[in-house]
Structure 1
Amino acid sequence: MNLYQAVRDALSNAMMRDDTAVVFGEDVAFGGVFRCTMGLAEEFGRERVFNTPLSEQGIAGFGIGLASMGHTAIAEIQFADYIFPAFDQIVNEAAKFRYRSGGQFNAGSLTIRCPSMAVGHGGHYHSQSPEGFFLAAAGIKVVIPRSPIQAKGLLLASIRDPNPVIFMEPKILYRSAVEQVPVDDYQLPIGRAETLVSGSDVTLLSWGTPIYHCETAMHMLNSPPETLARHVPESLRSAKVELVDLRTILPWDVDAIVESVTRTGRLVIVHEAGRTGGVGAEISAEVQKRCFLKLDAPVKLVTGWDTPVPLAFEKFYTPDALRVLDALVETLSY
């Protein structure tokens, strides 16, 4: 399956095993703009898979009410860029619902899916990465998968998690990443990072689409001098990079990252969102506090620029393999 097929399969699995599960959002009954809900309305009926008005605030508010009445609410925000009208409902209502009622009420069975990250030509209204805006919203979780297997397992775990979850799907990966995905029901742990490549010299941390740019940068770092990476000093070509996929942005896996950085002594964080007030800034602050005496170099951030995502220059906005490679060289050479 590719990623959008894995998402569709996860939704089908969830609805098959939970009669209270409902999927709703803009155009989802027709399959959605990315086809993630294709055929679900025909499979489960239009009372369980239905279109909503074009109101993100209304979608989130309806989902909170549905979840509070004991249903499993799976909402779709058509693009993560348009989640901001629903920000009040998510941060002031969904995140605080259980806490402010002393546990009497609960909206934990709410999952909000939204296509996120750059697509190459989406610009400032269709290529944003808004995960950092939710970091201070205690009471919700934010999850970003990198591949079809991850998407299905993490989405099923998100739907069944006892807390509201925002599930951000990297839209450029919908049709570009293909894996052998189990058709059976399975879940992957929320709140735990995954080490993809073990190393001893530097920790490279990312999530979603930039994971693949990080892999390319690692290959370039260890490639012969006659390749594109000829500016890499010979002494660094044998460096062993540890690649970690954060997967859950909130709450992020502090223990796994600290353990890795304690071993490697260096950390490079890569994300598409802008630098100021981003997830990387939060992680770097915590890492320098906990690993201060173990660090051999300052924590390095490779991020989008502090501008709106541009249209014609979107390629220059998002971190690519060359920017990641330069960050690795700078950190290893410090």
Structure 2
Amino acid sequence: MAYNRPWLSFQQQLEQLKQRGMVVTDDAAALDYLQRIGYYRLSAYWYPFRHFRPEQCPATGLTEVKAQNDFVDNTQFIDAVNLYLFDKKLRLLLTDALERIEVSLRVDIAYLLGKRGTFAHVDVKQFHPSFVRKPMRGSNKTAWEFWLDKYQGLVSRSKEDFVRHYLVKHGPELPIWVAVEVFDFGALSQLISMMKMKDQQTIAEKYCVADWQVFKSWIFALSYLRNLVAHHSRLWNRNITTKPSIPAADDAPWYASFRRNEDLLSKPFLLLAITRQFMQCICPNTEWNARLQRHLLTFPEQYSDKKLSLNSVGVAANWLDWWDSK
């Protein structure tokens, strides 16, 4: 189908929302938000307040629940804005935590591999043979070839003075303790996934994870979370596409809250709980978990007849019982 929706001025966008039943109590403020944030970005936050009705799909004949253009009674523009602001602060809190986790992982990798060789990160013998040969989905490359291409791209695109200094003064390859500084979270996740099991276990234990396979899935999930946060994507009610594993043993009280609960395993709160554990292990005296808890408890109330809650984030029913525990 050809896309046929017309360009609308900010005023026309506002009038369209009113025509669809949205209550706007302050036109000037609403126009200001549309001009600064954009209709499309805000639409993700008023989407839950639309009516949903079953419709038959002409192509398949199946009945599907479809979002309608009109809004639930008493839905106000400020309902969407408040959710946007809540989500924005959530991402900012996660930006702080994920930066610290990423930096800590760089140190761990450089320290562990650096003992074996200055250029261990480009020496395939330092990694698990089966893991490095694993074919990458959607690619004709192995995991090792895929990672090397990514790493070399990060080096070639880097504008850091230290990268140019090392390449000019010391040769064509960066030592591992320098190379980690150009890694992004995705590169860290990919490199860890190829490490020998003993090495993955060594790093996992620093983050209070007893099972290296669980740890690998957590790093991959946090890489996904980092991408969402870095691109300012909606987070609060997202269904996550990367489901991390839950340890079989009850080494931490919060594991049981998620085990065998498919709904909670697909919501962002699980990623927040993982981030919390990593932060507590990196810095036992951190106040980050308390700041995040306070923020979650400010989840905005709505004027709309459609009421949303922290359930859309995927909080476990008993989360306040274990959130402050070590």
TM-score normalized with structure 1 length: 0.26
Q: Which has the larger radius of gyration?
A: 2
Structure with higher strand content: 1
Q: Which has the higher contact order (CA 8 A, sep 6+)?
A: 2
Q: In proportion to residue count, which structure has more helix?
A: 2
Relative to the length of structure 2, the TM-score reads 0.26
